[in-house]
């Protein structure tokens, strides 16, 4: 876990995965913490860089200071974290109040979003009376006392029966939160809604809900889908308010499908240039791509466009292999052939997160199947680029 000071507050976050992978930001529900995403991380990390964080007064994030909290405040924190990660655009997934953050991003910052997955949330959640009453009770009774009443609403009854420790664990987590920050967020949900604010936004959106969700029942998600011009909605059977905790493998599978690059009918139309360019920048770095573009002339500009569409669009944007796997394949081929671009892809292998042991095995395969001189040259070049240590 790391910490970033945003507007004078310390925000706890995790940034996991290779720099060369596209970023996905995950926003947790009210009363919980970024730990709700732990079950989906193993499926996401081979293909994505993942950023999770704790809302104000939740988990390890500092409590809110003076004044009300707005959706714009929460979205501002998300954007500050994305900027800190160096991501101009990113995928977003949020549950409950995390989905409210997503709605603010869709409404005001859609140009930053590659996709938005909103789960168990709504343009309007509950009623002002419900949230204002809860805010008052939290200030009077405290989160620890109220957790016994609130936590059971998060999960399907069958899940509680199958895992009795779930309630005690999340009651403990909720009870550690800051009462005033929680109360201010309740008042935000009472005051700030997204009725009439989401239509016409050009963002790829997918909605998920749970058939057993008491906090945001399917009807709430259906109303949100209408606000989002009929965005696709899937209700997960037997699931409550927290799909990433209740069915993490299933939810990860569905989230990966949402975030996958739509390559269309590659055989008929090919991948568009913008898709290839975005992938090329993520893998090679924006500075390298900018230099290649600036150095292009009338002679090779069409060639640069072609490799951007073919190599980076149709190949590197395809999710059948991870970028880590493609890096190993590419490095091995270039080493065997002794091509000039080996230097670039040895540098790229570091961005993608290949280990020294993995690179060693790639080059040893080159020695056996491509020739010892080719592998020897590649090892020498890798050492010049900082791979390996003097300790043997």
pLDDT surpasses 70 at 269: no
Phi and psi, residue 286, nearest 5°: -65, -35
113-164 pLDDT tens trace? 999 999 999 999 999 999 999 999 999 999 999 999 999 999 999 888 888 8
CA angle 137, 141, 146 (to 5 degrees): 80
pLDDT surpasses 80 at 103: yes
pLDDT surpasses 70 at 68: yes
Does residue 58 contact residue 114 with C-beta atoms inside 8 Å? no
Domains of the chain: 2-259 (3.40.50.1820), 266-384 (1.20.1290.10)
Considering the entire predicted model, what is its pTM?
0.91
At 95 the three-state DSSP class reads strand
293-335 pLDDT tens trace? 888 888 988 998 999 999 999 999 998 999 999 999 999 999 9
Query: What six digits make up the tokens of 186?
Result: 């309740």
198-252 pLDDT tens trace? 999 889 999 999 999 999 999 999 999 999 999 999 999 999 999 999 999 999 9
pLDDT surpasses 90 at 266: no
pLDDT surpasses 90 at 267: no
Pairing outcome for strands 49-53 and 90-95: unpaired
Share the mean pLDDT of the chain: 94
CA distance 278 to 243: 30
Kindly list the distances between the CA atom of residue 119 and the CA atoms of 122, 169, 348, in Å, as whole numbers in the listed order: 9, 22, 35
* Helices and strands per DSSP (H, E), number in the chain: 19, 8
């Amino acid at each position: 876990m790391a910490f970033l000071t945003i507007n004078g507050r310390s925000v706890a976050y995790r940034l996991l995965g290779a720099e060369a992978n596209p970023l996905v930001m995950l926003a947790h529900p009210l009363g919980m913490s970024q730990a709700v995403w732990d079950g989906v991380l193993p499926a996401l990390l081979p293909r994505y860089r993942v950023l999770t964080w704790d809302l104000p007064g939740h988990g390890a994030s500092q409590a809110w200071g003076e004044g009300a909290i707005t959706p714009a405040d929460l979205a501002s924190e998300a954007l500050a974290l994305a900027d800190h990660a160096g991501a101009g655009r990113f995928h977003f997934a949020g549950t409950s109040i995390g989905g409210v953050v997503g709605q603010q991003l869709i409404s005001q910052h859609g140009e930053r979003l590659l996709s938005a997955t909103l789960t168990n949330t709504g343009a309007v959640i509950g009623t002002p009376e419900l949230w204002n009453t809860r805010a008052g009770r939290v200030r009077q009774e405290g989160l620890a006392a109220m957790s016994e009443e609130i936590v059971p609403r998060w999960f399907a009854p069958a899940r509680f029966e199958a895992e009795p420790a779930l309630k005690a664990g999340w009651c403990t987590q909720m009870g550690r939160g800051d009462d005033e920050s929680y109360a201010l967020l309740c008042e935000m949900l009472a005051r700030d809604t997204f009725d009439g604010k989401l239509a016409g936004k050009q963002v790829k959106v997918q909605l998920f809900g749970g058939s057993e969700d008491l906090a945001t029942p399917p009807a709430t998600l259906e109303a949100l889908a209408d606000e989002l011009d009929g965005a696709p909605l899937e209700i997960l059977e037997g699931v409550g308010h927290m799909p990433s905790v209740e069915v993490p493998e299933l939810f990860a599978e569905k989230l990966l499908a949402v975030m996958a690059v739509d390559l269309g009918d590659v055989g008929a139309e090919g991948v568009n240039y913008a898709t290839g360019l975005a992938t090329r920048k993520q893998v090679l770095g924006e500075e390298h791509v900018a230099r290649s573009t600036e150095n292009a002339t009338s002679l090779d500009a069409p060639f640069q466009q072609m490799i951007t569409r073919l190599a980076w669009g149709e190949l590197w944007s395809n999710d059948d292999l991870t970028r880590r796997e493609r890096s190993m394949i590419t490095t091995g081929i270039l080493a065997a052939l002794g091509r000039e671009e080996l230097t670039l892809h040895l540098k790229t292998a570091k961005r993608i997160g290949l280990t020294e042991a993995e690179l060693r095995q790639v080059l040893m395969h080159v020695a056996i199947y491509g020739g010892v001189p080719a592998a020897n040259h590649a090892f020498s070049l890798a050492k010049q680029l900082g791979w390996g240590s003097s300790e043997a």
